Structure 1
């Protein structure tokens, strides 16, 4: 039946990596791409390479068994919507054709063994389409047998290199005895620095504004930091601290760090050593985690709609289409909230370049919960946002958007700010502005709002006044604003409506 009715808007990408094989299934709908399935299996193909780059039959067998599982899911997807790529190990293996021939028979589709340069460019594209790309960025992906290092801007990779080092190959070379000794770490870090050395000056001279990691190693480190209550940003100091914690265990099989998943444990220390060397050689200060990498890059390349686009706009358009948002009303709320922020920007020292995208996003997303129920729609909206990916927005930006959306109407409580950390003052101020903007836009019509003026004193008391006697002709607006002063008073926020 699947052959007669192919899922024309469903796409599949299979990535035959050196450590893991991945299958990503996604649907193109509502102006966006939505993941509907992921399958990952640890194959550790690179561990089957000997010193002559001959891939062992045992490693090939592990790969074929995994692909037999993947093949079942591909049956209902049009062949033109399927892309299968292989990376470093099959680039290196002298008998790669033997593996590839049987793998293609199992899958019923051609496998493309991509070059290191194409892999790097695809990784960058995946990051660009799923992360908050602002300015020039350094992207690093530590794979099983290669590490890609890219500098790019927007959707364009400008400098890219695939380095011959990975968490599986370095595990075999420098941690083969399984011990977590200072000597093993030193040898691994030193070797990685030597691999990086030829490209070091080129990358440092080019420079970047933001460093992003796109591999399982970076994600694992972020999860370890989160488990200990640390910031999500990676620094060399934090990497060294994790290395010291790891050396507190006798061997890899005894390694138990809070936040470290069992499936990542075996190749974690070798990946950590490579990352420490990258931080040292390239003088990386901070690094965040990307939303996607190679698989996403291949996926977005398959769909012409996404070859060049504003990621944040695409994300907002996808939400508004999916949840039938009143786009004109969203624009009204955005315009009023930005106007309010602009009038208070000097007094409150608001970073307008940073907050305009946040206010715009909240305006377009705050009503998505109306499709569920009106009474608590703000909570429904926040829940949907909190549990849905938002490409183009960082984790911190998403937390702000969720917090503001959750508190944009009705009663307020301190629990609504529990996830925003040191951004509490900013988020409370933006909430006060958005709440007023929603009330002032309640007529859902253009050109019905008089000119208004807002100011704040040194105690954060806000005063709102309107031109002429407009308020006297709008008793419902007066009532809503008076109720809002009560809501804000309960939070010890002072709001005065000048009548």
Structure 2
């Protein structure tokens, strides 16, 4: 019998002896996970990272790990073939800008050296197999660098062969745990018959609860204010909720509803649910069972999706120049630089908007859902689309926000930011404001009205031209009061404010100017 052909890597010799790479601002992270292998490539642009490539392959390495913890040659070969694809993209990236890590399956496999020897030959790079505790710590940092919050938070990442659970605050993880359960191993163990039966789910959930039990007391005692999910399972659940017309906060009740939908499908090949992507179907039932167990044991009241995890944690550890503690601030600043926004004017509009908001705060609750922060960010970014053209720059800016990675903003916050920029001038489109998944539409409308007035009052683009104004609200009716004679001295501004009264009336909002 002829021997199996060896996986051939691209010839990296030329890359090694070539002159220093001009791509010193390009970085690559490879995550050899138990379910999928991922490669993330970014370029540092304008004080932030710009993703220039993502490659993901379902390798299901954990499926090749037997009861004796020996990794099959077939599973290793799947991994090597994937790495041969990755190796081609690494040739032009400086070696010091590349980091490759292996996680749970490679930690557990007794014959891991056999896999690593070939993997490192293919990649021309060292592979670092990290401990479960290190994985948990790095996952937390990935969440911290992509999510804006000063609150204590619980972070959960359900992987292919392990699940990491972390409590931390800011950039400091406090409690770390890596549990021996994952969506691939539980698929093989509890759903190998392809049946989505109540019996299989009960067995999987019970096994997961048993794994979680040893950490329950210390984690509940530590406590947290926010719960964040950083895994494919959590993303799949959130995508389903939004596609089915619900908000993006995951609760145990919603998980139980999804469980009933899954069991109604009967068998894994027939798993077709609204919002569930094809690529996630295979390991979704096992991941769902683990997530339900975590919610039950840790008494999680609600969870949202993180913008990053392991790969982002590794990436930002290589980028000390991007260690800004305020992730949202870093993101907004980067957009302002990349799209040549007039920063002085943007700050002027933001100050005017916050001044108006402060006067209205006693009547309008604008702090809910971080409304004041969203108002400030929308003011700073309201001219984002000017680089494209003036007439429809509010539409262009909204498009850029809607289709950009915005670390520090949740999906719902990004949706609100887009709606505010879209409606900061010209004719108001209430249907855009109505597309809120978490933020109330009332808050979105109130913030829009404040932003529009701030833009008009700052239109001369000079600090000394800003009027002293007062604003008050009676229910949803606004009254703006300007100094005596000011409108007569500023006929263009008067015309703009009179037009604004018309725009707001068309949207069903009452505005008066005195």
User: Same fold judged by TM-score > 0.5?
Assistant: yes
How many residues are matched? 497
Contact 1:12 1:26 in 2 (8 A): yes
Alignment partner of 2:42: what SS?
strand
Tell me how far apart the structure 2 counterparts of residues 277 and 349 of structure 1 sit (CA, whole Å).
37
How far residue 141 of structure 1 moved from its aligned partner, in angstroms, is 0.3
Tell me how far apart the structure 2 counterparts of residues 376 and 266 of structure 1 sit (CA, whole Å).
44
After superposition, give the CA deviation of every residue in 1:376-425 in whole Å (9 maximum; x if it has no partner): 11111111111111111122221111111101111123323231256221
How far residue 253 of structure 1 moved from its aligned partner, in angstroms, is 2.0
How far residue 472 of structure 1 moved from its aligned partner, in angstroms, is 2.4
TM-score for the superposition, normalised by structure 1: 0.97
Contact 2:120 2:127 in 1 (8 A): yes
Tell me how far apart the structure 1 counterparts of residues 68 and 337 of structure 2 sit (CA, whole Å).
55
How far residue 271 of structure 1 moved from its aligned partner, in angstroms, is 0.7
Contact 1:345 1:352 in 2 (8 A): no
* Alignment correspondent of 1:45: 61
Matched, 1:470 2:470: no
Contact 2:61 2:75 in 1 (8 A): yes
Tell me how far apart the structure 2 counterparts of residues 452 and 230 of structure 1 sit (CA, whole Å).
40
Matched, 1:203 2:219: yes
Map 1:23-422 onto structure 2 (within 5 A). Answer: 23-351=39-367, 354-420=370-436
Alignment partner of 1:130: what SS?
coil
Tell me how far apart the structure 2 counterparts of residues 183 and 124 of structure 1 sit (CA, whole Å).
34
Gaps (5+ residues) in structure 2? 1-13
Instruction: Give runs of ≥4 in structure 1 deviating > 6 Å.
Output: none
- Higher mean alpha-carbon deviation, 163-172 vs 68-77, is at 163-172
Alignment partner of 1:273: what SS?
helix
Matched, 1:443 2:460: yes
- Higher mean alpha-carbon deviation, 20-29 vs 410-419, is at 410-419
How far residue 491 of structure 1 moved from its aligned partner, in angstroms, is 1.5
TM-score for the superposition, normalised by structure 2: 0.94
Gaps (5+ residues) in structure 1? none
Tell me how far apart the structure 2 counterparts of residues 206 and 109 of structure 1 sit (CA, whole Å).
40
Tell me how far apart the structure 2 counterparts of residues 18 and 163 of structure 1 sit (CA, whole Å).
14
* Alignment correspondent of 1:431: 448
How far residue 103 of structure 1 moved from its aligned partner, in angstroms, is 0.2
Aligned match for 1:486, one of 502, 509, 514: 502
- Higher mean alpha-carbon deviation, 199-208 vs 406-415, is at 406-415
Alignment partner of 1:361: what SS?
helix
How far residue 262 of structure 1 moved from its aligned partner, in angstroms, is 2.1
Q: 1:172 to 1:117 in 2, by over 3 A?
A: same
Contact 2:148 2:326 in 1 (8 A): no
Q: 1:257 to 1:328 in 2, by over 3 A?
A: same
Tell me how far apart the structure 2 counterparts of residues 256 and 298 of structure 1 sit (CA, whole Å).
35
Tell me how far apart the structure 2 counterparts of residues 294 and 487 of structure 1 sit (CA, whole Å).
47
